[in-house]
Amino acid sequence: MKNKYFDGAHKWEEKDENTIGLPRPFAIPIRKDLAKKVPIPWQSLDRFESYGHLGLNLKNEDLVYKNNLCSYCGIKIKKEEIVIRWINAPVEITSRKGPKIFSDFHPLHLNCMEQARIFCPHMRKLQDSDFELGKFKKLKQNAISDAMKSKESKDVSDWFFNSNKKNIKKNDES
């Protein structure tokens, strides 16, 4: 039986680290709490064999906020586009090393979040009330606000770390 999330997809390889769009390349994890196939988001790397979980593609993670990209598929999000984001991400434990990362609360395309909520072992346990739906320009402002709360940890993406609030606000308005 075909699965709409994997129709036309292939097993993830290192050369796929910049592959954009849907369907996402997939991994075949051995963990029992995961599906037999797991799509690899654009800002992630397949590290199931070595670590038992996804790895973070730091370059792509930084580009998510800088270029208004969806962290799941890597495609640019339009300002007026209706998107969705996780609003109850624990910012106090957010860093580049995890367990939560900054793109966890950045807006995603609706179709991309649908998949994230199916395949992510944490997100599939969340309720609809744990998410915010709206226009990208507003939800990105909210995500930046959340990210700035964790900037005190000094362990944020290069884009946040190397930018001051004025530059972040300027990017947000573009």
In a domain, 2, yes or no: no
Here the tokens at position 95 are 């860093």
Q: Quick one: pLDDT at residue 89?
A: 63
In a domain, 33, yes or no: yes
In a domain, 127, yes or no: yes
Residue 100, domain extent: 14-156
Please give the chain's pLDDT, 174 residues, in tens. Answer: 568 999 999 999 999 999 999 999 999 988 888 889 999 999 999 887 777 778 888 889 889 988 999 999 999 999 999 999 998 766 554 444 555 677 888 999 999 999 999 998 888 999 999 999 999 999 999 988 877 776 544 555 555 555 545 555 555 555
In a domain, 63, yes or no: yes
Strands 108-109 and 131-135: unpaired
In a domain, 142, yes or no: yes
In a domain, 165, yes or no: no
The CA distance from 6 to 1, in Å, is 11
Contact between residue 123 and residue 114 where contact means Cβ atoms under 8 Å apart: no
Q: Looking at the 3D structure of the chain, how many domains does it have?
A: 1
In a domain, 37, yes or no: yes
In a domain, 36, yes or no: yes
